[in-house]
Structure formats: C-alpha cells, structure tokens
Chains A and B, each alone.
Chain A
Amino acid sequence: MARILDLTSLMGAYGTRLLAELGHDVLRVESPKADGVRREAPILGAAPRPEAGAFHQFLNAGKRSAAIDLATEGGRKLLLALVAKADAAVVSLPLPLAEEKLLAANPDLVLVRLDDGPPELCAYASAGLLAITGEPDGKPTMLGGHVPCAAVGVHVALATAAALIGKEATGKGQIVDISAPQCLASLAEQVWVEYSASGEMMERLGSRGGITAVAGALPCADGHWMISVPPDPRGWANFVQLVPHPAFKDDGSLADEAMRRERKQEILDCIAEWSRKQKKNEIVEQAQSLHIPAAAVTNPLELIDDPQLLARGFLKPIDHPDFGKINFPVGALASMFHQAMSIAPTLGESTKLILDELGYSVSEIQRLKDEGIVA
C-alpha cells in the first residue's frame, strides 16, 4: 500500500484517516507544539495534553506521528527526505516548501493541495448550506461536530485515492487541487437545482425533511423519534396500524399524500400526542416491522453502545492506555476492509523510527532533538 504524508488541518484530517482505513501507511507530520487537531475540544481529562483531544483520538487513529518543526531549515530538509520516499503528500495550504522543491525531491509524488479557505462556519454560510440548516423560525446553525470539515475530508480521500490509482497505472504522480469551500458548495447541489429549475429557494426545515409530506422528529417518553410517513396509500395504511389515533382511523381522505401535505401540522400534532407516552426504541421496532421508515433520534452517547455498530465491527471494545476499556469507533471503511486501526499516536511517537529509516545516526537524531527540530 502507499506511503502517505499527512500535513492537513482539521479540514483534511478525516480524509487522511479514511486513507489509513483503506490500509495505506499514513504518517502525520505535525508540529512538536501540538497542532489544531490535537487542541480541538472536547478535551478528555485523563490523558496527557497532546493526546487528550477527542478529535485527535478519532481523526489520527490508524496513523503514525512524526513531530517535526517545519518552521526550521532542518525540519524542511527532513520533510524533503520524507517526500522522496513517499507516494503521496496531502497538505493543507500554504505548502511548507515550494511545490517545485517537493517535486524535485520526488517527481512521481501525488501532491494533494488542500485549500482550507475561510473558517468552517463562513464557508458553510457562503456555500448555501447555512440557509438550509436550523429551525424555520429560529437561528440558522452549522452542522455540529465539525461535520462540514469531515465532509471536505471525504472529498480529500476520494481525490487522493483516485490519484494513487493513476500513479499505480502509469508510475507517474499528479498534483490535485482541492478546495474546501468548493466541496461544501458542491454539497449544496439541491439548493442550486431547485432554484435553477423552478426558482424556488430551499429553506430551513428543522428536522422535517423535504421529501414526504409528514416527516419530523417527534417527542416520546425518552427523547425523540423520527418518522417519515411513506407517501403511498399502503404505507399510510401501515402507518395507521402503528399510530392508531382516532383522527387517522376515521378520516379516509388522509390516505392521500397531497391531503396530508395540506394538513401536515395537524397530523404531526396527533402523532406527537400518541408518541409522548411511548419509548422511542419500542415505537421504532414496531414501525420497522411494518416497513415504515422510523428511527430513534440518538446522541453520540447512545451510539457508543449501539448493537448494530458493535455487531458489524464499526465499534470495537479496546483497552486504551489513557482511557481504559472503551468501545472504539474503528470507522466505516476500516470495518469493511477488516483494517486494524491502531489508536491515535502520541506526539512524535514514530519520529525516531522514521529518522532511523532515513539513515540518521543516533547522535544526529539527538542533535535534531536538542535543536528543537524534532520531538
């Protein structure tokens, strides 16, 4: 598999994680001072500082770490030596060294240049995505958990994996230019299509969704559940079996999706009245047995013990040196490719090994450390 250097910010770090999930050897070249990914909260108290960030723990899993100060001449020289032996480098701009220098060190390098663009929230607003996220009468909001960054990351993984195929086929590398704001803009495709085809503007719908007439997250005894009532008459008949509200049973006209669209709020209120006394997982099990798309609205804490994720190996019980026994999110591709994902590396965990491989002597390595070039 390919040797990939990872010099990305939070925008690209999920992309290089996916490349590790595919089985590539990903070396994160990071600042000895701990970079933004490591500093991103939530910070988990039990671990030493550079290892305590939840984003670091997830996004850098499966990667190795070399701590090199690229602000120093010695650090940049080291980077060139690594580039010479790599198949690909994925780098958030600005490049630490001129493109020509990187390519002179390795003419067959796949060089992925990621333009992070403005901060995540600003890119999200410009892309047209902020206008479709949030409650209709409330404040628009960005998708949480840095999901927009992860969405850029998946594009980074796709672009890099594709360029690696090109390299395998021809022996030649290629430069890939990728822009985070453009990634987000491309994900607002439906906003554009709707407007260009019919002049209509997509709006914020809270949890309602825009596909079926009756859909939304509704309260139940232990949180919320999500329902999307199937648009066809048979789906409605199944739904009335699930929610035996008198208002539904006695009104034949509601079998028609167009009528349901007109009386959406009234129907949602009736469903909520019924579901308030029910438990979400019980409703959802029953709905699914009737082929109705329903789901529990879950938070990350509920997901960490999720039976589906455990059964399929997305979650793997591990004994983490800093955090003890936890269910570790292996990842969507790693579980599919049966790729063992090592836990996120400590800062500079592989620096010495890497320098050994490059042929540096013990005394040279010590000098680099003393000068603060590596850690």
Chain B
Amino acid sequence: MTGDRPLPLSGIKVLDFGHIVAGPFCVRLLADLGADVIKVETATRQGRTGARRGQRPGGTNGRTPHLYHINRNRRSIDLNLKTERGLAVARRLIDKADVLVENFSSGVMERLGLGYRTLAKTNPGLIYASMASFGQSGPRQGWTGMNVTLQACSGLMLATGAANDPPIGISNSWNDYIGGLHAAVAIVGALSKRRSTGKGRHLDVSQFEASVAMIGSLLFASAVTRKPPARLGSRASTAAPQGVYRCAGEDQWCAISVQSDAQWRTLRTLIAADLPCDTLAERLAKQDEIDAAIEACTSKLSPQEVERQFTAAGIPAAAMRRANEIAATDEWRHVLRPLKEHGEAGPKVIGLPFTFRGSAPCEATEAPRMGASGNEALREWLGLDEPAIAELMREEAV
C-alpha cells in the first residue's frame, strides 16, 4: 500500500513512560498510526526487563527480544527523574506533548511529581493515559497485577475451556495487549474530542476492566440468569460440529467448524459416518457422538492433510499451527514487516493488521538503545542546541 496522505496521527507527539508490555505496546500502536514518540527511561531504574524476563538475556540494543519488538518506532531519552534537573527536562518535554502514556502502579507518577493535575496546569491539552492494573480508584486501586493474575480475575480463565476443566489461560501477554489496545482507542477518541473542546483529559484505563469488557456478554447473561455461563470449550452455539480434533502424530490437532447444513452433509460423506442430524439443533444435541466420529477419521491423518481435504470440500478447517509453521501463512506474511535499519534480510517485526488506503504504512524502525536518541529528541521537541544539551549532560539530568 502506498500513497502520500499522512497517517492519521502524524504530527501527534507522544511521551512513553511505559514499561514492560502494556504501556509500550499501546504506544507502539500510536506510533504505527503515525505519532512521533519519545520513550522516557531511567538507566538507574534497571531490572524491569519485563516480559519473559530472565529467560532471554542479551537481545538487541540492550533489550530482550520481546522488548526490542515492543519498543520499536520511538526515540529513547535517559532521564534521571530522581534529580530536579532531570525532572525539569521531563516537564519541558511533557509541555510539548499531546499524549502521555504510563502504566505504573497507581500513585507512582504522583510521587515523581508527574501526576496529571500537576502537568495539566502547564499543558491543559495533554491527554494523559494511565494504565494501572485496577485503575486509579476503587477498593483495589493499589493492587498489583500481572498478565496471568489479570487473566484469572477478569473471568477469562473460567470463560475458557470445557466443563470441569481447571482454569485455562493463554501463554502470551494477552492481557497486556488487550489493555494496550483499549488504551489506544481511548487516546484516539480523546484526541478527537480535544479537536472540538481544546481540552485534554486524564484517561484512567484499568487493564482489569478492559479484560472484563471482552466477556461483557457473559456478564450480561450471568446478571440475568444468576448462573455462571456454560464453558463450551471450542464449541459454538451457532455452528456444529465445531471443535479441535486430534490428528495423527504427537500433539497434532486440527480445528473444524461446520457453518451450514450443506457443509455438514459434505462432512458426513468425508468421514463416512451414518449420522442423520440434518439441522443445527440436532447436531448440537449430538455433539459428543459426532465429535467421536470426526476424530476417528482425523486421527489417521496429519493436521495439514485434514485441513487440505476438508477445505477442498468447502468445510472450514485449519491445522493448529506452531511457531515454526506460522511464518509461511498468508495472515502472517501480511503483518510481518522489515526494519528500516536492517532491510529484508533482517529480523521481521509485527505491524498493524490494517491499512489506510492512500497512506503508506508506517515504516518500522528498531527499538533504540536506552538514551541513544536523547539529543535528537531534545533538539526536535525543545529546540535545544548542542551547548544547551551538553550543559544538561554535565548536570547529569540526561
């Protein structure tokens, strides 16, 4: 996709006070939408290496692989926020910013002297997004949360899996992504509102609430029935049979989802089963029996072969793909992008899964080493010249 129309957030200045995944991921979404981002980091506050920490030392530019990917498309300035001068530089950058994103525990930014109320006095247009696990109010305001604990208390682990299964989660930083995405939508919405009011605002995002909202329909159901909703595994109420079926080989599986009566008739022939069940209601009632018949067939074939045979017959089917198989798929080819610094031969990063026609997608640039682009940031945002920057460095503010 090419074109000369600027991306929607071009010209928007964002300061990233985020750490680990949720905050920096939110900021990356804004960067991919065209925003100009500076990440404020503090070298003296080491140890927050974040996602999958401890397992992957090294990485690139002093960042673990995961954080190298999450923190791309931004400059980095190393500010010592414990010194008055460092804080003063931060305040000057904030006064130039349209958006600030932070995901510290509630109260941390206030203690640094960087709370919303203080900053809004000199920059009333600032959109300040906080992303604490449980938000900035309520009985759990100060509670600490992590991806797995938030997956647990937001209902996700008991909405997933089948009846009598233990709680089941997803192994990646799912909750951080969902929190980051909701925060990004809120920020873009607030930017729209600012166009008419001229006013910024404090966005008190709760990662917990973002995750609960994802199963809002099940909450509604429980509010009415006063019962927990049934755990359906991979089944659905509007498609049957639907499930994940064992295939030949160790831990090999294929997903199949029958969407219509016609597809069911085809499938019945494919698996040579004598099961009438012409309507969805009948199939829903006999899911166990049907699943057994399907698995008797799929367990003799590789998942790729099941996918091939079933999709050729017009039945939606997809092999469970692992890391080594996904890069070859169309979906993946479209979201993987080269880094400007390393070209096609270098590491591929994940870009936005949508495009704006007439606008070239944001070019991916690698995550900088901490503080590596501080001078550039001070020059461009504050108009400081080299002697002024050298002065700040002498004072150990930067």
Q: Which residues of A come within 8 Å of B, CB atoms?
A: 1-2, 14, 18, 22-23, 36, 39-42, 44, 46, 54-55, 57-59, 117-135, 138-147, 150-151, 154-155, 157-159, 161-166, 168-170, 172, 174-179, 181-198, 200-212, 215-217, 224-228, 231-232, 257, 288, 291-304, 307-309, 311-312, 314-315, 323, 326-329, 331-333, 335-337
A125, A163, A335 interface centre (most CB from chain B within 10 Å): A125
- Taking CB atoms, residues of chain B closer than 8 Å to A138 are 165
Contact between B355 and A202 (Cβ–Cβ < 8 Å)? no
Contact between A300 and B219 (Cβ–Cβ < 8 Å)? yes
From known contacts A134-B168, A141-B162, A205-B171, infer whether A54 and B153 are also in contact, taking CB-CB under 8 Å: no
From known contacts A192-B332, A211-B146, infer whether A143 and B159 are also in contact, taking CB-CB under 8 Å: yes
From known contacts A301-B228, A304-B223, infer whether A332 and B206 are also in contact, taking CB-CB under 8 Å: yes
- Taking CB atoms, residues of chain A closer than 8 Å to B205 are 332, 336
Query: How many angstroms between the C-alpha atoms of A188 and B66 in the bound complex?
Result: 12
What's the interface size class on B, roughly?
35 or more
- Taking CB atoms, residues of chain B closer than 8 Å to A54 are 217-218, 220-221, 224, 229
From known contacts A226-B149, A297-B157, infer whether A185 and B332 are also in contact, taking CB-CB under 8 Å: yes
A186, A200, A326 interface centre (most CB from chain B within 10 Å): A186
Binds A, one of B89-97, B115-123, B320-328, B380-388: B320-328
Contact between A58 and B234 (Cβ–Cβ < 8 Å)? no
From known contacts A174-B356, A314-B209, infer whether A158 and B171 are also in contact, taking CB-CB under 8 Å: no
B15 in the interface (beta carbon within 8 A): no
CB distance from B368 to the nearest CB of A (A): 18
Query: How many angstroms between the C-alpha atoms of A195 and B350 in the bound complex?
Result: 13
Q: Which residues of B come within 8 Å of A, CB atoms?
A: 5, 7-9, 29, 33, 47, 51-54, 56, 59, 65-66, 69, 134-135, 137-140, 142-162, 165-174, 177-178, 181-182, 184-186, 188-189, 191-193, 195, 203-206, 208-210, 212-234, 236-239, 242-244, 246, 253-257, 259, 316-327, 329-332, 334-336, 347-348, 350-359
Contact between B259 and A185 (Cβ–Cβ < 8 Å)? no
CB distance from B3 to the nearest CB of A (A): 10
Among A130, A224, A228, contact of B167 (Cβ-Cβ < 8 Å): A224
Query: How many angstroms between the C-alpha atoms of A128 and B59 in the bound complex?
Result: 23
Query: How many angstroms between the C-alpha atoms of A189 and B29 in the bound complex?
Result: 13
Contact between A131 and B224 (Cβ–Cβ < 8 Å)? no
CB distance from A279 to the nearest CB of B (A): 15
- Taking CB atoms, residues of chain A closer than 8 Å to B157 are 207, 217, 226, 297
Chain B residue nearest in CB terms to A174: B356
- Taking CB atoms, residues of chain B closer than 8 Å to A335 are 209
Contact between B185 and A161 (Cβ–Cβ < 8 Å)? yes
- Taking CB atoms, residues of chain A closer than 8 Å to B155 are 145, 298-300, 302-303
Chain B residue nearest in CB terms to A320: B224
Among A1, A195, A226, contact of B153 (Cβ-Cβ < 8 Å): A226
CB distance from B68 to the nearest CB of A (A): 8
Contact between B331 and A179 (Cβ–Cβ < 8 Å)? yes
Contact between B335 and A125 (Cβ–Cβ < 8 Å)? no
Chain A residue nearest in CB terms to B169: A207
Among A128, A141, A147, A326, contact of B244 (Cβ-Cβ < 8 Å): A141
Contact between A336 and B352 (Cβ–Cβ < 8 Å)? no
- Taking CB atoms, residues of chain B closer than 8 Å to A208 are 148, 169, 171
Among B33, B347, B357, contact of A196 (Cβ-Cβ < 8 Å): B347
Chain B residue nearest in CB terms to A165: B8
A54, A135, A146, A231 interface centre (most CB from chain B within 10 Å): A54
From known contacts A54-B218, A187-B177, A228-B149, infer whether A312 and B135 are also in contact, taking CB-CB under 8 Å: yes
CB distance from B152 to the nearest CB of A (A): 4
Chain B residue nearest in CB terms to A162: B8
Chain B residue nearest in CB terms to A129: B170
Among B134, B255, B325, contact of A121 (Cβ-Cβ < 8 Å): B255
Contact between B323 and A189 (Cβ–Cβ < 8 Å)? no
- Taking CB atoms, residues of chain A closer than 8 Å to B159 are 143-145, 147, 299-300
Chain A residue nearest in CB terms to B144: A293
Contact between A130 and B255 (Cβ–Cβ < 8 Å)? yes
Query: How many angstroms between the C-alpha atoms of A59 and B258 in the bound complex?
Result: 24
- Taking CB atoms, residues of chain A closer than 8 Å to B232 are 144
Query: How many angstroms between the C-alpha atoms of A325 and B144 in the bound complex?
Result: 33
Query: How many angstroms between the C-alpha atoms of A22 and B212 in the bound complex?
Result: 18
CB distance from A241 to the nearest CB of B (A): 15
- Taking CB atoms, residues of chain B closer than 8 Å to A165 are 8-9, 188, 191-192, 195
Contact between A125 and B255 (Cβ–Cβ < 8 Å)? yes
Contact between B323 and A202 (Cβ–Cβ < 8 Å)? yes
Contact between B223 and A162 (Cβ–Cβ < 8 Å)? no
- Taking CB atoms, residues of chain A closer than 8 Å to B165 are 135, 138, 141
Contact between B320 and A176 (Cβ–Cβ < 8 Å)? no
Contact between B167 and A42 (Cβ–Cβ < 8 Å)? no
- Taking CB atoms, residues of chain B closer than 8 Å to A23 are 189, 193
Contact between B171 and A132 (Cβ–Cβ < 8 Å)? yes
Contact between A146 and B217 (Cβ–Cβ < 8 Å)? yes
Counting from the closest, the 8 A-B pairs by CB-CB distance are A41-B237, A195-B323, A209-B148, A226-B152, A182-B353, A197-B65, A178-B354, A22-B189
Query: How many angstroms between the C-alpha atoms of A207 and B146 in the bound complex?
Result: 13
Query: How many angstroms between the C-alpha atoms of A225 and B316 in the bound complex?
Result: 37
A169, A294, A297, A327 interface centre (most CB from chain B within 10 Å): A297
Query: How many angstroms between the C-alpha atoms of A301 and B237 in the bound complex?
Result: 20
- Taking CB atoms, residues of chain B closer than 8 Å to A169 are 8, 195
From known contacts A133-B170, A182-B335, A190-B52, infer whether A294 and B138 are also in contact, taking CB-CB under 8 Å: no
Contact between B326 and A191 (Cβ–Cβ < 8 Å)? yes
